[in-house]
Amino acid sequence: MNKRTWWLMISIGLGVMLNPLNSSMVSVAIPALQEAFRLDFTTVSWIVFSFYISSAVAQPVMGKAGDLFGRKKIFLGGLLVAFLASLAAPWSPSFGWLIALRVLQSIGTSMMMAVGMALVRIHVTEKRASALAVLSVFLSGAAAVGPFIGGLLTSGWGWRAIFFVNLPFALAAFVLARRTIPDDPGREAGESGRFSLRAWLSRIDAPGAGLFAAGLILLFTGLLATGPRGQIGGSSLAGIEIATAGLLMLILFAVYELKVAAPFIPLRLFAGNPGLIRINIEFMLANLLFYAVFFGLPSYLQQVRGLSEFHTGLLMLSLGLCSLVVSPLAGRWTERLGPASVLRMSAPVITLGAAGMALLNPHTPLLVIVLILAAFGIANGLNGVAMQSALFAASPAEAAGVVSGMFITFRYLGTILSSLLTGLAMGGNFNEAGFRALGIWLIAAALILVVLSLGKRRSAEEETNR
């Protein structure tokens, strides 16, 4: 990559990293928030789930907005929203205000995530896999060090510090992005580069976006409330009812979108492109596997194995470090061999990691746990680059924003399903038998990835023979 591309990737990377950084960093601040606001764990856990749900909803919406009105505008606007939300959150007078600002922070970071990949798709024409590897380093690195940074800041300066730490990153990204991201007024902005609220509502398909948002919120909230005790409180039956209502609303959304001339999400594009559907399903499964380990294993190590928070954090670093090391290699391999070949390498590695999870017992050496984490980290590094490359190959440039936004929505669907699966396996309390059951479920998900990767190989071979 040339110098201009490097600076472009750094400015995009500094922006998109704020989403995984803030989704992982806050998890270690939950006890401090419980004490500060005098709330129980179930209530405080909304600080995590509200971020996931609003991110899943906002990213396709903002991806569509970027396609229509200019991706640079959306990216810079996202940095401004994230900066202001992070600046105001520490002064929240109540937990309700903190949740509202947390949602606003999620929307701002989602604006950058949604158009960040699209900017790479549009403006990086050579060595795109290497550029995606750089982006993956920012994303994986932020997720990997998030819990460590969150713990360090919270223990030293209190929970407010996890919001203040965003400010220098957002400011640096804004300055760089203004200089390095090329102007793109968008298809609907007009010659002046400006657009009105009426243009937003008419061109973005506000009824479709509303149905989509309401359906996803109900579906995800219902899924999180489903389980032995409910991940966010309530009964399992109520969770099923809420999730069913969300699913019905999404079906209504699909029927509506197929009838309108300018749909919010081009479902016909997805229906006519099996490769696009498959890569989104693969991304969902990969994130289900990764986040089941990312959030589940620390609780297992502390509650079942009796390790301290410090030693647990040291063990978890192997997950992030392996992902960081592998991501640049994955970029080179993807350019040389193609994304299908890299995904074929990843699938058996993550299957071995899932098998190791299922075989854990109280006497398993810590070195074996490090190797299990390394397997998931390696697979995450490979998947992060190869799946995005496969997505770009399967999607048209004019729909890059909304397609990228949907791609990230499937990431959060995988994350939320991992939480549901962990709750079902554990029955409300972390224990050896429950963790073994979780490992078996993860093996099943990993084997599906193996099958899908073999399907990619057959498709690639057929294409070559033509």
Nearest Cα neighbor of 356 from 407, 307, 318, 329 is 318
Band of the pLDDT at 108, cuts 50, 70, 90? very high
Q: What's the one-letter identity of residue 157?
A: W
Q: What are phi and psi of 320, to 5 degrees?
A: -70, -40
Helix axes 18-25, 95-123, angle to 10 degrees: 150
Mean pLDDT to the nearest integer, 84-101: 92
Q: Render pLDDT for 397-429 as a digit per residue (tens, 0 to 9).
A: 666 666 777 787 788 788 878 877 776 776 656
Helix axes 339-358, 432-465, angle to 10 degrees: 160
Which tokens in the block code for residue 348? 């058996």
Q: What are phi and psi of 75, to 5 degrees?
A: -65, -50
How far apart CA 377 and CA 279 sit, in angstroms, is 20
Distances (CA, A) of 38 to 26, 47, 163: 17, 14, 20
Least reliable range by pLDDT among 26-30, 99-103, 286-290? 26-30
Distances (CA, A) of 424 to 166, 227, 438: 34, 5, 9
Cα 180 to chain center, whole Å?
Answer: 25
The per-residue pLDDT for 102 is: 92
Does the structure show a pLDDT above 50 at 458? no
> pTM for this structure?
0.74
Helices (H), 338-399: 339-358, 366-394
How far apart CA 33 and CA 28 sit, in angstroms, is 10
Nearest Cα neighbor of 339 from 414, 347, 140 is 347
Nearest Cα neighbor of 78 from 97, 96, 58 is 58
Q: Provide the CATH number for the domain formed by 1-192 in this structure.
A: 1.20.1250.20
Band of the pLDDT at 265, cuts 50, 70, 90? confident
Q: Provide the CATH number for the domain formed by 273-457 in this structure.
A: 1.20.1250.20
Nearest Cα neighbor of 136 from 282, 12, 3, 296 is 12
Contact (CB, 8 A) for 133 and 328:
yes
The per-residue pLDDT for 20 is: 82
Dihedral sign, Cα of residue 218, residue 223, residue 228, residue 232: negative
How far apart CA 315 and CA 301 sit, in angstroms, is 9
**273-277 long-range contacts, CB within 8 A, separation 24+:** 273/394, 273/395, 275/390, 275/393, 275/394, 275/459, 276/391, 276/394, 276/395, 276/403
Q: What's the one-letter identity of residue 149?
A: I
- How many other CB atoms are there within 10 angstroms of residue 158's CB atom? 13
Q: Render pLDDT for 293-334 as a digit per residue (tens, 0 to 9).
A: 877 777 777 677 877 766 776 777 788 788 888 888 888 888
Tokens 């400010």 correspond to 167
Q: What is the CA radius of gyration of the chain?
A: 21
The three-class DSSP label of residue 364 is: coil
Mean pLDDT to the nearest integer, 129-153: 74
Band of the pLDDT at 351, cuts 50, 70, 90? very high
288 vs 56, which has greater pLDDT? 288
